[in-house]
C-alpha cells in the first residue's frame, strides 16, 4: 500500500479538483488567458490531481489503461518543478470540454460509483 489514506479519498480529491477547474474555466478561453488568478487556481488543482493520482494503487490504474496515469503525474511534476515551461495553450487543450480532463472525470466518477463499500 502506497499510503495509509484510503484510495476512495484520493479519487474524491481528483473529482473535486476537476469540478473546481470546471468552475474556473467556465468563463471561456479568453478570460482564462487574461486572468492570472484563474490560471493559478487551475494549475494548483492540476497539481492536486497529479499528486492524488500518484497515490492511487497500481492495480487500480492498471484496470483503466485508457487513462494516461503516468502522464498525469509527470505533468504534475512539470507544474511543480519546471513551472517556467508551462504553456497555457497546452494547459487549455487538457481542460477543453471533451479533452483529457473530461475523460479523467468520467473514469474517476465510474470508479467512485463502483467502489466497494467497507
| The one catalytic residue among 5, 64, 70, 76 | 76
Could you tell me if 115 and 8 are in contact, meaning their C-beta atoms sit under 8 angstroms apart? Answer: yes
| The one catalytic residue among 5, 20, 45, 81 | 81
List, as own/partner pairs, every contact residues 23-31 make where C-beta atoms lie below 8 angstroms and the sequence separation is at least 24, other chains included: 25/95, 29/92
* DSSP helix/strand/coil, 49: helix
Q: Is 76 a catalytic residue?
A: yes
Alpha-carbon Rg for the chain, nearest whole angstrom, is 14
Chain centre to alpha carbon of residue 35: 20
Chain centre to alpha carbon of residue 54: 11
Q: Name the residues annotated as catalytic.
A: 76, 81
Amino acid at each position: 500500500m502506497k499510503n495509509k489514506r484510503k484510495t476512495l479519498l484520493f479519487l474524491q480529491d481528483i473529482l473535486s479538483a476537476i469540478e473546481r477547474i470546471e468552475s474556473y474555466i467556465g468563463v471561456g478561453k479568453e478570460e482564462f488567458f487574461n486572468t492570472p488568478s484563474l490560471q493559478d487556481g487551475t494549475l494548483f488543482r492540476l497539481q492536486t490531481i497529479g499528486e492524488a493520482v500518484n497515490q492511487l494503487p497500481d492495480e487500480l490504474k492498471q484496470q483503466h489503461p485508457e487513462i494516461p496515469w503516468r502522464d498525469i503525474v509527470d505533468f504534475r511534476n512539470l507544474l511543480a518543478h519546471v513551472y517556467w515551461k508551462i504553456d497555457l495553450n497546452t494547459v487549455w487543450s487538457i481542460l477543453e470540454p471533451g479533452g483529457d480532463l473530461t475523460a479523467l472525470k468520467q473514469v474517476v466518477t465510474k470508479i467512485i460509483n463502483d467502489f466497494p463499500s467497507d
